[in-house]
Structure 1
Amino acid sequence: MRRYLIPLIFGLGGFAVLVSLGIWQLQRLAWKEAILADIDARITASPVAVPAAPDATEDRYLPVTAKGDLLGTPLRVLVSTKERGAGYRLVTRFVLEDGRQVMVDEGFVELEENAAPGDAEGVTVAGNLHWPEEVDSWTPEPDLSGGLFYARDVATMAGALGTEPVLIVARTVTGTDPRATPMPVTSTGVPNNHLGYAVQWFGLAAVWLGMTAFLLWRIRKRTV
């Protein structure tokens, strides 16, 4: 029996650790699903006016509606979609009726489309406030002179356009001819891989248990 004891302890201990990691990932899955449900609820809530002092944490995804003028040449943010390939997001200075100046992410245009559609006055924008976290150490510096960005950096874009660091990601833009295809805020970009991780851990646990059983069988064969 002593020959079996150490392999059995090692095998069952490893199996227990791997199963516990799988259970932990299932718990993380439930936590992430609750977060996604909260994001979806925020996105689809009834729209309100743009707050006087929006907070990047408290007001993230807040649905808003505003009327004003889209003015000047938009910034171009390089982006790619599965459906249409490479193109730009147009981020435009938006002067509200009360004189405040914020930004609107109007949506997607293809590389060969008009990325400088001119001014549009008296438009109504409905969408969500957003402070995307897209910039990392691999993101190239923006070409400020050319108005070209490689990720949405709200603070830097606001400095380039001379607006508040407030971005409305449009769901609809009415009162003007279509200038871009809206790319509204959704929860689909929030990663949720916990189910896959759980399956991997449980799979490893099954393999570990099988290897343990095989080792015990080999030990038995040697002693017969």
Structure 2
Amino acid sequence: MSRITLPLLTGLIGTAILVWLGTWQLQRLEWKQGILSQIESRIGGDPAPLPAIGNPEADRYQPVQLTGTIEPQELFVLVSQKRIGAGYLVISPFVTEDGRRILVDRGFIPVEDRSIARDGGAKDITGNLHWPDDRTSSTPENDITGNTWFARDIDAMSDVLNTEPLLVIARNMSPADPGVTPLPVDTSGIPNDHLQYAITWFSLAVVWLVGTIALVWRLRQTKEG
């Protein structure tokens, strides 16, 4: 076996594996785009009645239209908005016309507006059911006593506000909620990094192939010399 055969085979096999990984990521990208398209269609679909018992899988992103009353209690979830900075999501109990008590994410307020009184009362709300996955391994525990939350933990919030463990994230509210900026459900928070991964694998394939060609050329030069 020639001394360039093994490096050449190693280089070609490595390049083929890296190209396969890049191609697989492109296939995953197409799959993820299809999923995101389905989610966006569901988010903007026709409103449905509140489910009797919410199912995080079947009912996630389901549009709903509610008429009822926002009660005065508020929970504050610390978040940050681009180009705005720190602030809070305001979570309040909402009592529907038929007497159900659920949670409503009213939207975003700046930190300095926490102490400002907000209008509650009768509201018509269009929004989406959601079970947010805000908590990571680095998320602090909620300061329930001080009413500063670091994740929208639906079960804990429903216990504090005496509601069903159902959260509707408001898209539109009538009358409007002055000083509160709705942050409707969308797909921006769903990671879709497959294109970057594909570019990385294809770039590594090019580097690996170029390195293989350079090594084989040097070996041939040495042999001829």
1:72 Cα deviation (Å)? 2.5
If the length of structure 2 is used for normalisation, what is the TM-score?
A: 0.95
For the 8 Å contact 2:119–2:178, the answer to whether it is kept is no
1:52 Cα deviation (Å)? 1.8
For the 8 Å contact 1:69–1:119, the answer to whether it is kept is no
Name the amino acid aligned to 1:99.
G
Alignment RMSD (CA, Å) = 1.4
Aligned to 1:69: 69
For residues 49-79 of structure 1, what are the alpha-carbon distances to aligned partners after superposition, in whole Å with 9 as ceiling and x for unaligned? 2122221110000000101111122100001
If the length of structure 1 is used for normalisation, what is the TM-score?
A: 0.96
Identity %: 46
Aligned length: 224
The 5-angstrom pairing of residues 12-51 of structure 1 reads 12-51=12-51
1:178 Cα deviation (Å)? 2.0
Aligned to 1:174: 174
1:157 Cα deviation (Å)? 1.0
Aligned to 1:195: 195
1:23 aligns to what SS in structure 2?
Answer: helix
Aligned to 2:122: 122
Q: Distance in 2 between matches of 1:96 and 1:112?
A: 30
For the 8 Å contact 1:74–1:116, the answer to whether it is kept is no
Q: Distance in 2 between matches of 1:44 and 1:60?
A: 13
1:3 aligns to what SS in structure 2?
Answer: coil
For the 8 Å contact 2:66–2:125, the answer to whether it is kept is yes
For the 8 Å contact 2:60–2:130, the answer to whether it is kept is yes
Aligned to 1:58: 58
Q: Which runs of 5+ in 1 are unaligned?
A: none
Aligned to 2:217: 217
Name the amino acid aligned to 2:194.
H
1:120 Cα deviation (Å)? 2.0
1:223 Cα deviation (Å)? 1.1
Aligned to 1:5: 5
For the 8 Å contact 1:73–1:117, the answer to whether it is kept is no
Distance 1:157 1:177, change over 3 A: closer
Name the amino acid aligned to 1:39.
I
